Protein backbone atom coordinates (compact mmCIF):
# COMPACT_ATOMS: atom_id res chain seq x y z
CA UNK A 1 0.00 0.00 0.00
CA UNK A 2 1.29 3.47 -0.89
CA UNK A 3 1.41 6.01 1.92
CA UNK A 4 0.14 9.20 0.30
CA UNK A 5 1.19 11.23 3.32
CA UNK A 6 4.84 10.78 2.31
CA UNK A 7 6.36 11.92 -0.98
CA UNK A 8 9.70 11.09 -2.51
CA UNK A 9 12.62 13.23 -1.37
CA UNK A 10 13.36 15.62 -4.22
CA UNK A 11 16.90 16.45 -5.24
CA UNK A 12 16.25 20.09 -4.37
CA UNK A 13 15.18 19.29 -0.78
CA UNK A 14 18.10 16.88 -0.35
CA UNK A 15 20.59 19.55 -1.51
CA UNK A 16 19.01 22.10 0.82
CA UNK A 17 19.39 19.73 3.77
CA UNK A 18 23.01 18.92 2.86
CA UNK A 19 23.83 22.64 2.70
CA UNK A 20 22.29 23.21 6.14
CA UNK A 21 24.24 20.30 7.63
CA UNK A 22 27.46 21.58 6.03
CA UNK A 23 26.91 25.17 7.19
CA UNK A 24 26.17 24.01 10.75
CA UNK A 25 29.85 22.96 11.08
CA UNK A 26 29.01 21.17 14.31
CA UNK A 27 31.56 20.67 17.05
CA UNK A 28 29.75 18.90 19.89
CA UNK A 29 29.62 15.82 21.96
CA UNK A 30 29.78 13.38 23.40
CA UNK A 31 26.97 11.53 21.68
CA UNK A 32 26.00 8.39 23.55
CA UNK A 33 25.61 5.48 21.15
CA UNK A 34 25.28 2.67 23.67
CA UNK A 35 27.05 0.93 26.57
CA UNK A 36 29.71 3.49 27.26
CA UNK A 37 30.35 4.24 23.59
CA UNK A 38 30.40 7.88 22.61
CA UNK A 39 31.37 10.09 19.70
CA UNK A 40 32.52 13.72 19.47
CA UNK A 41 31.85 15.91 16.41
CA UNK A 42 35.07 17.71 15.44
CA UNK A 43 33.60 19.90 12.69
CA UNK A 44 32.68 19.76 9.04
CA UNK A 45 35.54 18.91 6.69
CA UNK A 46 33.70 20.04 3.54
CA UNK A 47 32.77 23.61 4.54
CA UNK A 48 34.30 25.08 1.37
CA UNK A 49 33.07 22.36 -1.00
CA UNK A 50 29.71 22.19 -2.76
CA UNK A 51 27.21 20.25 -0.63
CA UNK A 52 26.05 18.35 -3.72
CA UNK A 53 29.28 16.33 -3.53
CA UNK A 54 28.48 15.22 0.01
CA UNK A 55 29.01 16.56 3.50
CA UNK A 56 31.89 15.20 5.58
CA UNK A 57 32.27 15.49 9.35
CA UNK A 58 35.34 14.49 11.36
CA UNK A 59 34.52 12.44 14.47
CA UNK A 60 36.46 11.13 17.46
CA UNK A 61 35.43 7.84 19.06
CA UNK A 62 35.67 7.06 22.79
CA UNK A 63 38.78 4.97 22.15
CA UNK A 64 40.58 8.00 20.66
CA UNK A 65 40.37 6.91 17.02
CA UNK A 66 39.17 9.48 14.53
CA UNK A 67 36.61 8.81 11.88
CA UNK A 68 34.91 10.47 8.96
CA UNK A 69 31.15 10.65 8.49
CA UNK A 70 30.01 11.24 4.92
CA UNK A 71 26.43 12.10 3.97
CA UNK A 72 25.39 12.11 0.31
CA UNK A 73 22.04 12.49 -1.41
CA UNK A 74 20.70 9.47 -3.29
CA UNK A 75 17.44 9.25 -5.26
CA UNK A 76 16.19 6.83 -2.57
CA UNK A 77 17.27 8.90 0.42
CA UNK A 78 20.56 9.55 2.18
CA UNK A 79 23.68 7.49 1.59
CA UNK A 80 25.68 7.40 4.82
CA UNK A 81 29.21 6.16 5.43
CA UNK A 82 31.36 6.14 8.53
CA UNK A 83 35.02 5.20 8.25
CA UNK A 84 37.20 4.86 11.31
CA UNK A 85 40.94 4.68 11.61
CA UNK A 86 42.15 1.24 12.44
CA UNK A 87 41.32 -2.10 10.93
CA UNK A 88 40.52 -2.87 7.31
CA UNK A 89 36.89 -3.71 8.12
CA UNK A 90 36.31 -0.61 10.20
CA UNK A 91 33.73 1.19 8.09
CA UNK A 92 29.96 1.26 8.06
CA UNK A 93 27.54 2.11 5.25
CA UNK A 94 23.82 2.66 5.30
CA UNK A 95 21.25 3.80 2.78
CA UNK A 96 18.67 5.59 4.90
CA UNK A 97 15.53 5.80 2.83
CA UNK A 98 14.04 9.25 3.18
CA UNK A 99 10.75 10.85 2.20
CA UNK A 100 8.98 14.14 2.73
CA UNK A 101 6.00 14.20 5.08
CA UNK A 102 2.95 16.48 4.77
CA UNK A 103 4.73 19.18 6.76
CA UNK A 104 7.69 19.15 4.31
CA UNK A 105 10.09 17.46 6.73
CA UNK A 106 12.69 14.96 5.58
CA UNK A 107 11.78 11.71 7.34
CA UNK A 108 13.86 8.57 7.72
CA UNK A 109 12.22 5.67 9.50
CA UNK A 110 15.45 3.67 9.66
CA UNK A 111 17.10 6.55 11.56
CA UNK A 112 13.95 7.41 13.51
CA UNK A 113 14.60 11.02 12.55
CA UNK A 114 13.02 13.94 10.77
CA UNK A 115 14.08 17.49 10.05
CA UNK A 116 12.86 20.47 8.05
CA UNK A 117 15.42 20.92 5.25
CA UNK A 118 15.06 24.71 5.43
CA UNK A 119 15.41 24.95 9.21
CA UNK A 120 17.68 27.53 10.79
CA UNK A 121 17.45 25.79 14.16
CA UNK A 122 20.92 24.42 14.98
CA UNK A 123 19.47 22.10 17.65
CA UNK A 124 17.14 20.45 15.12
CA UNK A 125 20.03 19.87 12.70
CA UNK A 126 22.28 18.62 15.50
CA UNK A 127 19.60 16.16 16.59
CA UNK A 128 19.37 14.84 13.01
CA UNK A 129 23.16 14.39 12.83
CA UNK A 130 23.13 12.55 16.15
CA UNK A 131 20.50 10.16 14.77
CA UNK A 132 22.66 9.54 11.70
CA UNK A 133 25.68 8.61 13.83
CA UNK A 134 23.63 6.35 16.11
CA UNK A 135 22.07 4.66 13.09
CA UNK A 136 25.47 3.97 11.52
CA UNK A 137 27.06 2.66 14.69
CA UNK A 138 24.17 0.30 15.32
CA UNK A 139 24.35 -1.30 11.85
Which residues is 58 bridged to in the sheet? Answer: 68
96-135 pLDDT, tens per residue? 999 999 999 999 999 999 999 999 999 999 999 999 998 9
Radius of gyration of the chain measured on its C-alpha atoms? 15
Q: Residue 89: its pLDDT value, please? A: 56
Q: How many CB atoms lie within 10 A of CB 85?
A: 13
End-to-end CA distance of the chain: 27
Q: Residue 2: its pLDDT value, please? A: 47
CB 31 within 8 A of CB 37: no
pTM for this predicted structure? 0.88
Q: Residue 54: its pLDDT value, please? A: 95
CB 52 within 8 A of CB 73: yes
Ramachandran quadrant class, 77 (left: phi over 0; alpha: psi -120 to 50; beta: rest): left
Q: How many Å apart are CA 116 and CA 61, to the nearest integer? A: 28
Average pLDDT score over residue span 59-82: 92
Q: Residue 48: its pLDDT value, please? A: 92
In terms of residues, how long is the chain? 139
What value does the mean pLDDT of the chain take? 88
Q: Residue 1: its pLDDT value, please? A: 40
Amino acid sequence: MIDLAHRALSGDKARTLLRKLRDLNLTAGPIAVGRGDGVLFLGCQSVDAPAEGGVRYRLRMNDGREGLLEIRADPRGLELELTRGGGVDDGRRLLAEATLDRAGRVCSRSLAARVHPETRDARELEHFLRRIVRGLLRV
